[in-house]
Structure 1
Amino acid sequence: MRIASWNTRSFGNIEKGRMVGSMVNKYQIQFLAIQETMVKKVKQPILNSIWKHFVFQEVQVSSNGRSGGLLSIWHDDCFTLLNHWSNRYWIATLLRYTLNQRIVLIINIYAPQSEHDKLFVWQQLSAIANQWSGPISFLGDFNSVCHPEERFREVIDPIAISKFNNFILSDNVIDQALCNEEFTWDGPDEKMSRIDRVMVNVSWLSLFPDSILQAGLQKLSNHKPIILGKKLQDWGPKPFRFNNSWLLQKKFITLCNEKWDSLDYEGWAAFTLSMKFRVLKCYLRE
């Protein structure tokens, strides 16, 4: 099984859908947890861009204005939904995994900033975990760290760290080590932290003993996607093949110019240029 989590910092346009779809295809993701959609409901064309040629199912939680919003989406050939529960901060999905017919519980989490509200969420998640003896995975943006070293150029709150570790211990889950990165979030003034994480119980580890946690490339958000599953060999990006015959089409240059001018991204110059080239490349491929 290969599952992933990504705080995409909004998920309301087709370009982001295509880029998430590219990550899903690259890492062969079967279940995806997205945080901070920032929309009441992710529209169907955006969902279709994640798995273009496959049937999928999803559960969503609406944002509160431009804050929050959750999406759990999975490959229909890989899972059968048995039940689900949700609130503003999490989506719990009870699924039957097609490959071995085992039932697993996967909980997509976007924890609040307030330490008081976090404690309430930890209590809710603990109640769910303690009622389920099968394989379980918590994944998402916890807005918390386990150790002071997981924050760089940020204020350290020892009490908050202690409460978060108590939550992990009380649920008998294991925080998966990130094997290829130190941090998952980049903030202003070179601040960094590892607030995106995956936790699993012993039953999950017994079922998927070869799983490792990796971070993907940071493209469309200040969070990196994180992927739990068997390690894939990365041969680098596929080369973009430009067909000279395109230049013979009368409308080719006009279409490129119109698409380029329609793209608007905020950030430093190199970032906006890179984003516009990526989107234009996807547009030309289609």
Structure 2
Amino acid sequence: MLIVNLNIRGLGGSIKARYLRHIIAREGANFACIQETKVSAITDARCFNLWGDNNVGWLHYGGDNGSGSLLSLWHKEAFCYDTHVMGKGYIVVYGKHVKINCRCVVVNVYAACSLSDKIVLWKELSDLKKASSDVVWCFCGDFNAIRKNGKRKGVSMRDSNTSEMRDFNCFIEANLLFEIPLVSKPFTWFNSNGKAKSRLDKVLVTEEWMQT
């Protein structure tokens, strides 16, 4: 199943909607995980417009008046929705990949900045995965964390960063996840002057996902 993952930094007006439609159409996406919609509510009409089709299912987490908001979208011919769990920083969608008749779980993630909030998020996601009989999982999103030195430039590395890396890697290893490598750019976030940059956006999957 082909998934588009994008931190859109505000859905805004028609320009970003056209940009998202273009990516979905160009890649032939079945599912889209969008972070930072920066809106507290959304409608069917807007989701249909974002995808360019009305045969689309969706779930939106409004966050705190739009802050930390998430949107998960899928084409109903490709993904059959079953149920979901939603919480601060995540939307977990359970369903079936129609083409190969395989049950799978897609998790849309937008982590907070503080390490304490991230630890809570990782524990909640770990608990959900352990409680499920599904083994085919994909975690997409902005994890706001790096896994090792070199994945953050132009920012001082403090003790808290070392703890963050350790705890994030523990989450990945405990859940038997593999990181899908980036094909082109090594960083996914840049500050306004371009001097500070980090590899924050990731796709983490189970081995079974790679085999489907």
When normalised by structure 2's length, the TM-score is: 0.93
Query: Is the 1:152–1:192 contact (alpha carbons within 8 Å) kept by the matching residues of 2?
Result: yes
Alignment of 1:202-241 (within 5 A): 202-207=207-212
Query: Is the 1:24–1:50 contact (alpha carbons within 8 Å) kept by the matching residues of 2?
Result: no
Aligned-pair Cα RMSD in Å: 1.4
Choose from 190, 197, 200 the match for 2:202.
197
Which residue of 185, 188, 192 corresponds with 1:188?
A: 192
Alignment partners' CA distance in 1, 2:8 and 2:53:
22
Whole-angstrom distance in 1 between the partners of 2:63 and 2:12: 11
Aligned length: 207
The alpha-carbon deviation at position 105 of structure 1 amounts to 0.5
Q: CA deviation at 1:66?
A: 4.3
Percent identity (aligned): 26
* Contact persistence 1:35–1:71 (CA under 8 A): yes
**Which residue does 1:154 correspond to in 2?**
155
Cα shift readout 1:141-164 (whole Å, capped 9, x = no counterpart): 000011111111012221111111
Report the equivalent of 1:144: 145
1:188 to partner: Cα distance: 2.8
Which of 171, 175, 178 does residue 171 from structure 1 map onto?
Answer: 175
Query: Which structure shows the higher helix fraction?
Result: 1
**Consecutive unaligned residues in structure 1, runs of 5 or more:** 208-286
| 1:179 Cα deviation from its structure 2 partner | 1.9
1:122–1:167 CA contact under 8 A, matched in 2: yes
Alignment-mate amino acid for residue 208 of structure 2:
S
Distance (Å, rounded) in 1 between the aligned partners of 2:53 and 2:129? 34
| Aligned twin of 2:121 | 121
Encode CA deviations 1:114-147: one digit per residue, 9 max, x unaligned: 1001001000011112223420001100000111
Greater fraction of residues in strand: 2
Q: Is the 8 A contact 1:12 1:43 kept in 2?
A: no
| Gap regions ≥5 residues in structure 2 | none
Cα distance in 1, alignment partners of residues 54 and 28 from structure 2: 12
Task: Tell me, in whole angstroms, the C-alpha distance in 2 between the residues paired with 1:64 and 1:91.
Answer: 15
Offset at residue 43 of structure 1 (A): 3.7
Match of 2:163, SS? Answer: helix
TM-score, structure 1 length as denominator?
A: 0.69
TM-fit CA distance, 1:44: 3.8
Q: Report runs of 4+ in structure 1 exceeding 6 Å deviation.
A: none
